Structures are given as C-alpha cells and as structure tokens.
Structure 1
Amino acid sequence: MVIVLGAILFALGICVSVALHEAGHMLTAKAFGMKVRRYFIGFGPTVFSFKRGETEYGLKWIPLGGFCDIAGMTALDEVTPEESKRAMWRFPTWKRTVVLSAGSAAHFILGFLVLYIMGVTMGLPDIEAAQKQPDATVSSISACVRPATTQAEVDQQKKQVLCQPGDLAPAKAGGMLPGDRIDSINGKPTKTWEEAVKLIQVSSGPTQFVVQRGGQPVNLTIDVPAIARLQTDGSVKTFGMIGAARSNAVPAPLTYGPIDGIGGAIHHTGVMFDQTFQRLIEFPSRIPAVWNAIFGGERDPNTPVSVVGASIIGGEAVDRGLWEIFVYLLATLNFFIGVFNLLPLLPLDGGHIAVTWYERVRDLLRKARGKVAGGPVDYTKLSSVTMVLVFLGAAVTLLTVTADIVNPIHLP
C-alpha cells in the first residue's frame, strides 16, 4: 500500500511539473499581450472549468499532460477579427521564443529549487566522487556462496551468511584477494564492476580471471558454480557466482547552508544538464534493450522509463523511506523533460522555436535582397514529418510503458 501511495504521490509531482510548464507559456504570453484562450491540466472530458477575464481555466479527467491555447500560435490557427491583432505569430521573434521556451524554463527553475532544498536539508549526491571510485575492484571475499530461493533465506543472508561444511567458496579457493581489480574474464576486458558481474553470471566451470594486484597482472582460475537466487519479481534464477563483492559504500552527500546552497545547486544543475544530454544521446541505442525486456530479457537499469516506471521507482523509494531518491528523481525528470522539449522537432516547443527562427533568418535574407518579408510558415507542408515524429514518439511511449508494466526497473 505504501508503494502504491508513493507511486501516486510521484505521479502527482509530475502533474505539478506539467501544470507549471503550461503556466510558463501562459504567463509569458499574457505579459507580452498575446491572447490566451484556455489553460487546462489533463486531457479528455472536462472535470470542471471557469472563466476569468478572457481565459478559461480547467481540469480534465486524464492527468497526463496539459495545454495552453494561445491565439495564433501558428498560421494554421484560426483567429477571430478581435484576436487577429494579438495573434502570437504577429509578435516579434524574441517574444515568441520566450513564450515557447518558458515551459522548459519552468522545469529548469523547479529542478533547481528542488536541488537547492535538497542541498540545505538532506544533501545532494556526490556524483563526481562516485564516478571516481574503482568500479571493478574487489572489496571483500565471502567465506562461501549459498543459494537463497525464499525471502526468509534472503533476509537471513543479509544479516549473516551461515556457511555449512561443503559450501563452495569459488573466489577464495581461486586465490582472489580483497583489493584485486578484475581486468578481464575469459579474455574479455572488464572496465566496470557491472561488466564483471554480467560476465561472471554467464560463466560456468573453470574460468580465467586476470586481476591487478600491487600494480602487477595476476592470472587466476576460478571454478564458477551456478547458484539459485530469488529475484525481486518473485522468480528464481540460476547464474554464476564467485563470492566476491565490491563495497556498496556511497560517498557522503554534499550538504550546504542557505547561502552556499545556491552555488551548490548551480553546480549540481550543471551536472544534471551534462547527465541529461548524455542520456539523450544514448536514448536510441537503449531502445532494443527495452524491447528485449518486454519478452523476458533482463531489464537494464539504464534503459528509458515512462511515467509509469518512474512512479514505480518513486513508490519503492517512499516504501523504504528513501525520500532523497524520490525527490532527486523528480528533479532529474524535470531536467530531462525540459531539455527534451527543446529539441528542434515538431510538435515539441523546440520545433516551433526552430520554425520561428527560420522565418526570422529567411526574412533577413529577403530584406538584404530588397524583397518584402515572407508570410508565416505553412505548417501543412511540415505535417508529414510531424506525423512521423508523433508516431515514433507514441511508439516509444507505448514500448516503455509496456516494459514498465511487465518488467519494471526496481530499486536494488
């Protein structure tokens, strides 16, 4: 029940973000004198609405988005004679750009405020320190490896592993020591701990390891057994284990005072932007892994998630009392949505900004040649490209939602 309530709370947090996104468009449009017809949260049938001034405000049943209806946002938008002078496309390029980018700006401001509040209360994760830790270095060697096929066995092993006579101790028997850095397994290099674990899990029998010890390479042969383990989804899987572990110690969070917290939040905002751009670049290459996860493959925690998946992780964080993860995930999502929405692709805001500046550059070139300014871009000529992008976006959304339902990402 706590997980469900946490997931609902996270979904509400996303709804607030969407509401602020659309509010950014609305407030800047009104400030410049553009006519805002409607401001609604959600889609589908209307729950309620009211009119204040010239704008209708309301809530719809499906809280998965929202919209701000500005008169004359494109040349295709029909406007009344009364609205014509205040149509958005008539305003200067810079004003239209401010209005179109205000939604993403709202996400960035909200993300910054969340990071600032975290910094002066619960602390911000030290991402840079975590990235510097040696991922493939062994910190401890287990006295034995034992199967755990029930929750009771899992709980017992979390407290203490009670080795029995005859239990296997592969890493210990093979000569591996704490401090060894695993360089390769069966000739395959392991740059990270995650890569080493994946190779060990698919290994069986005598396996060749090369480790760095005291600055020198050491060759080891470890007999990798198959061990049955209970998974988070309740199933039992068998995979290779050797009884070597990496320290799970997390760098201490960075805490700030009310004043230096501003600088800390600014620095961490830069880190968030860097991480977001990296995830966007990797996004297309992660899609095949999402497809495989739907049909029984192991879900890579680095694959994209939908609102459903993010809410599941948020719910699990609440269930465990890990509010810092819950709040940080909300901040991360705001930065991602903000950057993604600025991509120069229709129907995203970034696509409308690109069209706006195309008109501006085109008119400057026409003026230089002694010609009058051209009219607004005919969006019907872009409709085919827009529909392709809408279809691809819908397909990716359906794919990630399906994966998050049948094979969701869970907190470790």
Structure 2
Amino acid sequence: MTAVIYALGVVVFLLGVALSIALHEMGHMWPAKKFGVKVTQFFVGFGRTVWSFRRGETEYGLKLVPLGGFVKLVGMLPPERDDDPSHARTSNTGLFTQLASDARQLEYETVTTADTDRLFYRKPWWQKVIVMAGGPTVNLIIATVLFSISFMGFGVATPTTTVGQVADCAITDAEAGRACTDADPPTPAKQAGLQAGDVITSFDGEPITSWDQLTRLIRANGDETATISFERDGSEQTVDVTTSVLARAALDDPERVENVGFLGVTPTSVIERQGPLFVVEEMGRMIGQTAEAIVHLPARMVEVVKAVFGAEREQDSPISIVGASRVAGELVTVDQPTLAEGTQRIITLLAGLNLFLWLFNLIPLLPLDGGHIAGALWEALRRGWARLRGRPDPGYVDVAKMLPIAYAVGSVLMLMGVVLIFADIVNPVSLS
C-alpha cells in the first residue's frame, strides 16, 4: 500500500509540474497573441513530438522529454536590415557571426511580407516586457495561490504556550538526537520540576502570549534566575529557575551559532488556519531564502558533484525534477501522514517550485526570460536617451548578437541538469 501511495504522490507532483509549465508558457502566449505577435507553436517538453494538434496558426502539443516547454514567437531575432525581414547574410566569417546568421535564417524561413508587423522584435519595448514577464508572473501567481491554499485552507502547525516535552539533559544543537549520559547536566526545566501539559503564563513578571515571545525571553535571560508562572491541573503555580547558557542556532540565521539562555522545554502545537498577512510574510521570507539559494547555486553544485562520488548529500541540496519527484513520494509516505497532510505537503512542494521558477527565470541572462526583459529595457533606455539628445533612433536591440552568451548559459544549465539527475539517482536526497 505504501508503494502505491508513494507512486501516487510522484504522479500527482509530475502532473502539477506539467501544468505549471503549460501555464508558464500560456503566460507568454496569451499577451503575445493579444499584441498581434505570430505564434506558431506551443509545446510542453522538448525533443520528439508525442502528440499535437493545430488550432488556427498555432500547433499545440506534448514532446518526449518533460523538462520544460516553449512557445514559438515569430521574429524574436531582428534581421540584419530592419527594412527587409527576409534578408540575411548568406556568407560570414567568424564562429559567432555565423551562429547569429544561421539563427536569423532559421527564424525567417517561414516569414512572409504579410507577417512584417507581427514580428516580435518590431513590437514596442513595453509589450516585449509584458510578453516575456508573463511566464514568470504566472509562476508567482501559482505559488501565491498554492501557498494560500496551504496556509489558509489547511493551516500551519503553531506552537502554543503549553509545554509538550521537558528535555532530560542540556546538549547543544550539534548533538541533538543522542541519548543523555551521566556527564550531561540536567536541564533547568527538569530541575525546576516543569512537566508536559504545564501552561506558561508569565516569565519573570512578563505575561506570556506566545511561544516565540517566551523563547526570546529565555534566550535573553542568560544564566540569570527568573520566576516562571504556569497553570497545572487548573491551579496557578510559580517556580524560580536559573537558566543555563548553551550554544544554539540563532533565530534569525540558523547557520549562525550563539550562546543563549536555555530552559529545556518544547511546546505542543496545534494546526491553525492563517490569514492573508501570514501568506505575504511567509512568502517574503521564502523569496529571500530562494534568492540566496540561487546566488549560492554554483557553490552548492560543487557539493552535488562530491555527492556523486560518495560524499554525504545534504537534505537542502539542489535537486532535479527526478529528485523532487522522489521527495514528493516520500512526503506522502514518511510518518504516515493523513490524506489532508499528504495533500498539503505536495501543494507546498509545488508552490516552492513555482516560486523558484519565478525568480530563476528573472535572471537577466539569455536564454532565460530575464535576458529578453533586460534586452527590451535596454532598448527603451537607448532609444529614449537618443530622443533626449536629438540623435537618430538607434533601432531595435539585436538579440542575435547575444546568442553566444545564450548558448553558453544554456550549455551550463544543461550540464547542471545532467549532474543533478545523476546525483538524484546514485545519491538521492532523503527525508527519512
């Protein structure tokens, strides 16, 4: 039964990924068609065509390798002479010049004079920005909707002021999980006689309204003595506790360790549905974390390569679609979640993926959407500056000149994808 649930989680996740890709490409195609751009293809996947149909001038379909998708916007590259879309050089010297020329010839093989005003490069810069930003924007919308369903519909585990567990001994985060020994000092909470089920009402005279508040007060207390008030079996009690100082992960940066006051209690949690403000705040936090992860992606890829050769694979390691699928399977089976819990986990995973795709696609490098957006903005700036100075219109930005960079970036992304897929097969990330 577990294997069936695992497989179901993988299938649901992959369907969610395919739908996200299709909607991303729809985010490009819909405004492009509204602005009159000629769109000839809309596909999910790459490689050989598995299934397709034609509606009007556009062919829609699925391709064999489900690792992305594309929309064919005719006229992405301007010709070498703007007044003649059918013109392109037939001979060139230099590898990069030849690459650009070949790309132009391929671009205009099916372009006729009737298509001149429908070519993408001839559109105003703001239309180009809207078209190219449409895909990533859809990913952000998907992420927002899914996170809202997760946090507002299913709810979030929220710590209460009720003690859930009292630790027997004081050990650092680095040693967490090991059994206590006779050499380990007892926790202040254990010495003070606190028990599971006690409801903390005040700490050193300050009324307690949340567990986060209590945590910060304990940490700030150092090794001083404080009076804790709590309710037990309906009666109010107080106890004096001298908190110890222990090395713990910082609240604002889990990578940083600091010496703080320590009591030795963990809270009980309840599932509470959150409001829109929580969604906004949580997404803001995750956007920051995702941006940081993208910045450090090259360095993290070194760790992935080491993992291929047997090094330990971190749980927060970058993963491919293969690794994400395996994680999806584990999410619906590990700790035997209920149907609601498993569903929420898959929804949250898909939301996180879409958030990553939104930010990653905005990187201002071709062939990513951000590269085309940067080109359109540069065109607007260059033409506007020329007008202000009374200079001739410099014309459209020639994206073809950036093709060598696009090919280089594309090759690096493909190599990273291959390495991640291989690592996810030989040394996968595991939640268990």
Q: Deviations over 1:343-362 (max 9, x none)?
A: 10110000011111111111
The equivalent of 1:272 in structure 2 is 286
Distance 2:377 2:293 in 1: 27
SS of corresponding position for 2:423: helix
The equivalent of 1:204 in structure 2 is none
The equivalent of 1:191 in structure 2 is 249
Distance 2:280 2:179 in 1: 48
Q: Deviations over 1:294-350 (max 9, x none)?
A: 111111112211111111111111224333222111100001001100110110000
Q: Deviations over 1:18-73 (max 9, x none)?
A: 00000111111111221211111112222222221221212222222111111112
Amino acid across the alignment from 2:249: K
The equivalent of 2:361 in structure 1 is 341
Shift of 1:213: 5.8
Change (3 A) 1:181 1:89: farther
Moved more, 91-100 or 28-37: 28-37
The equivalent of 2:185 in structure 1 is 175
Paired residues for 1:101-112 under 5 Å: 101-112=133-144
Paired residues for 1:199-218 under 5 Å: none
Shift of 1:9: 1.9
Q: Does 1:300 align with 2:300?
A: no
Distance 1:282 1:178 in 2: 40
Q: Percent identity?
A: 35
Shift of 1:170: 5.3
Shift of 1:281: 2.5
Distance 1:169 1:329 in 2: 33
Shift of 1:288: 2.1
Distance 2:268 2:302 in 1: 31
Q: How many residues align?
A: 328
Distance 1:285 1:43 in 2: 28
Match of residue 98, structure 1, among 120, 127, 130:
130
Question: Any conservation in 2 of the 1:39–1:67 contact (CA below 8 Å)?
Answer: yes
SS of corresponding position for 2:43: strand
Distance 2:373 2:417 in 1: 24
The equivalent of 1:56 in structure 2 is 59
Match of residue 18, structure 1, among 10, 18, 21:
21
SS of corresponding position for 1:38: strand
Distance 2:368 2:20 in 1: 16
Question: Structure 2: any 5+ residue segments left out of the alignment?
Answer: 79-103, 170-176, 190-242
Q: TM-score, normalised by structure 1?
A: 0.71
RMSD: 3.3
SS of corresponding position for 1:47: strand
Distance 1:181 1:374 in 2: 69
Distance 2:65 2:387 in 1: 47
Shift of 1:394: 1.6
Q: Does 1:407 align with 2:427?
A: yes
The equivalent of 2:300 in structure 1 is 286
Amino acid across the alignment from 1:50: F
SS of corresponding position for 2:386: helix
SS of corresponding position for 1:63: strand
Shift of 1:278: 2.4
Q: Deviations over 1:170-201 (max 9, x none)?
A: 533333536687745xxxxx6369x99xx9xx
SS of corresponding position for 1:344: coil
Match of residue 255, structure 1, among 273, 282, 299:
273
Q: TM-score, normalised by structure 2?
A: 0.68
Shift of 1:246: 8.7
Amino acid across the alignment from 2:137: A
Q: Deviations over 1:226-252 (max 9, x none)?
A: xxxxxxxxxxxxxxxxxxx995x6854
Question: Any conservation in 2 of the 1:26–1:68 contact (CA below 8 Å)?
Answer: yes
